[in-house]
Structure 1
Amino acid sequence: MNKIAKSLLAATVFLTVAACSNNVGGKENEYEKAEKEAFKTSMNYVTYKERGDNSKWIPLLKDSSDFESEKSEKSFDFKDVKDKKVEKYGIAEYEMVPGKKYFFDIRFKDIREGNIDERYLMLDKVNGKFKITDYDIIGKFIEKKDFKNKEGEMIKPIYNFSTGLSEKEKEELKPSSITTND
């Protein structure tokens, strides 16, 4: 076999192995990508809501029809907080349906006073984008049955924190267990 044929054979074997590796891990990478997208969407929502930028947070809702008239409004101090974002947070993430549905319990320090606030957000993938149901807005209880996997076991959360938090801040911002109505 000449040098060119050996190089072509080696390149073909390498590309085949690489393609197979990507296909095997393709689903996992797809889920990781969806998880990151859901996380980013939830943090954007919390930041926009904190700023009072209705034109940004209302479109992220799964059902925004009740808020269409408020879409152009901004908070009274929007100019003072428009560049701020939620920087200190703790999140309990529940993967309800891998790649498609997540629940985030986000505990954070608000951007105005530094007081601790909390949001309960369900994210569903709708037409390729994650849309939010904010349990604080709709005043709905979270049902325990929604937090069970196919085997009937409770889904365990994954806890994440913003970088640079002290142990005391992590303890303070760690979301507590989900309270359910059943």
Structure 2
Amino acid sequence: MTLVALVLVVLASPVLGGVCGAVTDRALQRTVTREQRERHATTAVVVHQTHERNRVGDAEGVGAREGRIRVVAHWTAYDGTLHTGTVAAPRRAAPAGSTFRMWTDDRGIRTSRPLDSTTAHAHAVFAGLGAATAAAALVEGIRRLVVWRLMRRRYARLDRAWAGYGPDWGRAGAGS
């Protein structure tokens, strides 16, 4: 039992992790290609600051929560159209006329920065490591469960054997 579990942990878990990492990497690289094709960097010009807070769910993502202010800005979309909207500026103070870089989709709607290949590969590596670790933990958990059941069965047999000797076992002259 332990040998089978050891072989599975040593051989099967890394293979499973490698396969999971490779599949994840291919999927993420397709996402990288799509996002880099559909998202475009542009320069936004601040018109004025607003007093509203950053909303949860803004396209700017996690970075919009800290260290950014809301501004009304103008930007030119990839297709050449001019857009105006309220967005999060990357600085705490953004006076009128200052510029900052932002990402838009093909229609000029604000979006997050596209995923880069290196980051996608790192995510795939972590997914593979996680899958290998989870597989090894699953094998070890099953092994422990089987050993626990075997020990319970062994103790039950031992209890039945002791019960068969009766209450006078071990006393001198009791006929045992």
- TM-score by length of structure 2 reads 0.26
Structure ranking higher in helix proportion: 2
Which structure is richer in relative contact order (CA contacts within 8 A, separation 6 or more)? Answer: 2
